């Protein structure tokens, strides 16, 4: 991990005004922002670690623990809520076998909710990795999970 981190951080030495892009790049490379990465980021750009954490924890897009290879987000915004998001979330929890907000022990899956993905006309909406599924039905879950194994 150290080598990958050094490579990402190299162009940012002393550039403390580039904190957000650095956090995004490091997360894209490592999958999350580890304690070690946060420490290295702070050292590289010359900001106190507390300030780097302060900024990173403000944004919901940053994660501080390792996540699953496959990330499922069930939209629970108003439109999706009205169209049965809670039932869909229950079904994902059952089929994947983990509670919402957690990652499976084998790091294959993470399951979480999201407030609105901006596709309310397609409610209920589920996002699996980069794929957006509109008018979602729980009956699709096993096929989606099957495809992810391939
Ligand atoms: S509420 Fe689900 S996409 Fe907007």
Give the residue from 58, 88, 104 where a domain finishes: 58
Q: How far is the CA of 120 from the centre of ligand 1 (A)?
A: 4
Return the pLDDT at 135.
98
Residue 106: CB atoms within 10 A of its CB come to 8
Give, in degrees to the nearest 5, the angle at Cα 100 between 140 and 23.
Answer: 105
Cβ 80 under 6 angstroms from ligand 1: yes
Q: What is the dihedral of CA 127, 131, 136, 140, to 10 degrees?
A: -110
HEC sequence for 31-85: CCCCHHHHHHHHHHHCCCHHHHHHHHHHCCCCCCCCCCCEEEEEECCHHHHHCCH
The pLDDT, as a whole number, for residue 137 is: 97
Enclosing domain of residue 34:
2-58
Q: Whose CA is closest to 124, among 112, 114, 115, 133?
A: 133
Which of 1-5, 30-34, 56-60, 127-131 is least confident? Answer: 1-5
Ligand 1 near 127 CB (within 6 A): no
Tens digit of each residue's pLDDT (9 = 90 or more) over 74-121: 999 999 999 999 999 999 999 999 999 999 999 999 999 999 999 999
Same domain for 42 and 89, yes or no, is: no
Q: What is the pLDDT of residue 1?
A: 63
Taking each helix axis from N to C end, the angle separating 19-30 and 49-58, rounded to the nearest 10 degrees, works out to 80
Q: Is the pLDDT at 145 greater than 80, yes or no?
A: yes
Point out the ligand 1 atom lying closest to the alpha carbon of residue 79: 1
Q: Are residues 74 and 133 in the same domain?
A: yes
In a domain, 85, yes or no: yes
Decide: 114 in ligand 1 pocket, CB within 6 A. no
Using a 6 Å cutoff on CB, does residue 75 contact ligand 1? yes
15-52 residue pLDDT tens: 989 999 999 999 999 989 999 999 999 999 999 999 99
Give the atom of ligand 1 at the shortest distance from the alpha carbon of 116.
Answer: 4
Ligand 1 centre and the CA of 133: distance in Å? Answer: 11
- Assess whether 50 and 86 both reside in one domain: no
Paired residues of 110 in beta bridges: 71, 103
Interstrand relation of 109-114 and 126-128 (parallel, antiparallel or unpaired): unpaired
State residue 48's pLDDT score. 96
Q: Is residue 27 part of a domain?
A: yes
Residue 2 scores a pLDDT above 70: yes
For residues 6 and 54, membership in a common domain is answered with yes
Same domain, 81 and 126: yes
List of residues 6+ apart from 5 with CB closer than 8 A? 26, 29, 30, 36, 37, 40
CATH number of the domain encompassing residue 108: 3.40.30.10
Residue 113 CB–ligand 1 contact under 6 Å: no
């Amino acid at each position: 991990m150290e080598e990958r981190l050094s490579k990402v951080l190299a162009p940012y030495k002393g550039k403390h005004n580039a904190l957000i892009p650095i956090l995004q790049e490091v997360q894209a490379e490592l999958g999350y922002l580890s304690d070690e990465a946060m420490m290295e980021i702070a050292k590289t750009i010359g900001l106190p670690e507390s300030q780097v954490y302060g900024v990173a924890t403000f944004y919901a897009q940053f994660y501080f623990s390792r996540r699953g290879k496959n990330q499922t987000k069930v939209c629970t915004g108003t439109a999706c809520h009205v169209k049965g998001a809670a039932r869909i979330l229950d079904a994902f929890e059952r089929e994947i076998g983990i509670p919402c907000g957690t990652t499976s022990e084998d790091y294959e899956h993470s399951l979480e909710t999201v407030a609105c993905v901006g596709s309310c006309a397609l409610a209920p909406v589920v996002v699996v990795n980069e794929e957006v599924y509109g008018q979602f039905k729980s009956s699709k879950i096993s096929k989606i999970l099957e495809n992810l194994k391939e």
